[in-house]
Chains A and B, each alone.
Chain A
């Protein structure tokens, strides 16, 4: 049990933190299984429009592994199979009806502990629960072909306005215990990461190595934990999952049925209400955000999230919805917020605006790009926000140059696009470093 204090990074002072109230949202009318939530896979559609499905009915399967299916998380009828350009599969929409669920059989702790990992894997895969387990590098769905050298359970989050894991997992101790028993069959070494606020609440969880991380974002990201506890070298794999996702697996193991509900924090300066909601998994966001005029509704947080809109859906891995202002005002020469003005009302992590002198306050930040895209000029900016032993500028340039050897040398396996989100935020040249790293990872994964 160790305490790690992270110094590099930054906590964005965004308005709109969710209060600790948990409310039952109005039942969503539509849910959707979206392939974009699962990169590196191509899919085969298993249903047609009009088919009746129950919670647990497979709707798409991975072409790489036909046993890896993705299931409906509520019962109803398939209402639409959305496709985009060049017939790219965007989502299988299901109009929710009834409460039917497939019973895959409840497993108790004894059964879990005495089963083989292959049986456990198959039991989870058939209900579409296996994808909750992901691996690094690449942040793709875990695979039995690459068993991990450690498993990381993340019970903390430092992303802007991120929900508290202890609220998401309230009352789910048995479920977490069952899921940990399951994880142990794959790898004995399980790291359970808490922050200083919830560490004591988690100390009763057994069979894991507890560690506490403190500090600004990205102290709560799994790359930071991996770097400090057991760094990944070429050829090695680790698995990771959040505590609330682990609780979902535990709920499935105990009940034998696919959990239909999850808890989501609605956050952000433009959110209609800032609190936690119990919603259907993969629900359409209109259940909690009624109106998105002039707003950007994001599944996830502002540093790592997908623009969904009120008609979009909660992503498979997300427990947060953030609502911010879409675009913003134009500022003219002479305005405070113009690039030449003093900037009392302009937020920055840098010392170039007088707003720095105003002290702590929360900001309502819009989705403006705030400048033209330029080549990288200030190469010193990035490393201040990344607490990993990686030279981000050099790695980014290796990714842009598609130099795979150099990417490997500079640590591409230890990083993910979410780790450099703050770099993307802070870059004066408005370069999307997150996309650069993501493209670099995709290139290496494809080339083998």
Chain B
């Protein structure tokens, strides 16, 4: 028995009693179900239930995101410390590029983003849950952490709040909430910001929280991401050489000490999260694997077209594509959202493969913007039901053939 029980039991019992029948009951109920388990018994013919519930499923995904989150804070903090400018603000005295200082600076940038996302999203969730009269859904625990991680460090807080509200309302709540969304809500939030305020979410200056450091001369540093470098390299140049010239090697892209959206830079941190999702089977291995395969295959196809007159991006080795940009993060955390992905096993292979292929096509062939993962995933979210339809049709035809 934990000490929490002795502290929490009376207040929770009283709160539940007093708010019964009132509009506040939904919120109190949410808090209660977080702090203690229920005593509802099963009804019907099946008398037992597994211990796994949706809260634990979502928390597992959140735990899988922790390595990426920690690295995001460290990386952002490091970039802030290494920027050759005067630091301002309460953390100005911590200017040595040490681990602790980096984490603190990074947290100073990340935590406001996270808090704003959770507050904006939380308000949306509470409103819809109260109106609909059901418990507040746990899906938001995951979206709330995903959204800041796919934003650049320099994004204004009000923009993140707007994107969160848009993504949650129009990609999820309008259709019925958790379990009914046909698009990934976190990506929809990002897409909204991308199309409405493109200069704030892409380009060269957003990756370091430039405007969070006052009196900072932005032209002093080039914050171009590896993708940005590869996209503008000269025709006929060797992409790998171009990257090296900008300071990006395979190793530091693997570790992630590069600019980029907060959570996407470190392949290793993402891989740790992927491992947790795969062991617990909370994330579908078919979707993850097929996305990487699709991306790799498309990278190879582009390599076949590379030549002295073509853009340098074409000759980027296929395995570089997998660790650059948001590919790994999208493949592990976004494609595996079970509601917006394909539901059948065969369908998942096709779904993941096409996401990988499309992401690389958009990346390489689109001159305006060097990142295609978000758009590829959203596009395939729309097509996932169609893929499932054909798999289910095969099952139906098998049945009819037997008759």
Contacts and interface: CB of A to CB of B under 8 A. Distances in A.
A334 B50 contact: no
Given A330-B37, A375-B180, A380-B284, A307 B51 contact: no
A425 B47 CA distance: 8
A303 B50 CA distance: 12
A351 to B, nearest CB: 5
The number of chain A residues touching the other chain, given as a range, is 35 or more
Contacts of B9: 332
Nearest to B51: A346
Nearest to A347: B51
Nearest to A414: B399
Which interface residue of B35, B51, B281 has the most chain A CB atoms within 10 A?
Answer: B51
Contacts of B41: 296, 326-327, 367-369
Given A332-B2, A335-B1, A378 B338 contact: yes
Given A332-B8, A349-B50, A409-B396, A371 B55 contact: yes
B156 to A, nearest CB: 32
A214 B35 CA distance: 43
Interface in A363-388: 365, 367-372, 374-380, 383
Interface stretch (A105-113, A128-136, A238-246, A426-434): A426-434
B304 interface: no
A346 B51 CA distance: 6
Residues of A contacting B: mostly:
loop
B282 to A, nearest CB: 7
Residues of B contacting A: mostly:
loop
B326 interface: no
A305 B4 contact: no
A411 interface: yes
A394 B282 CA distance: 20
B46 A304 contact: yes
B88 interface: no
Interface stretch (B56-64, B163-171, B200-208, B232-240): B56-64
Contact of B50 (A14, A393, A428, A434): A428
Interface in B265-317: 279-282, 284
Contacts of A305: 45, 47
Nearest to B393: A409
Contacts of A427: 49-50
A389 B395 CA distance: 8
A169 to B, nearest CB: 25
Given A378-B282, A390-B395, 6 more contacts: A327-B41, A348-B52, A352-B52, A352-B280, A369-B40, A435-B45
The 7 lowest CB-CB distance pairs between A and B, nearest first, are: A371-B53, A375-B179, A334-B2, A346-B51, A233-B403, A379-B343, A424-B46
Interface of B: 1-5, 8-9, 33-57, 59-60, 135, 137-139, 176-180, 279-282, 284, 338-339, 343-345, 388, 392, 395-396, 398-400, 402-403
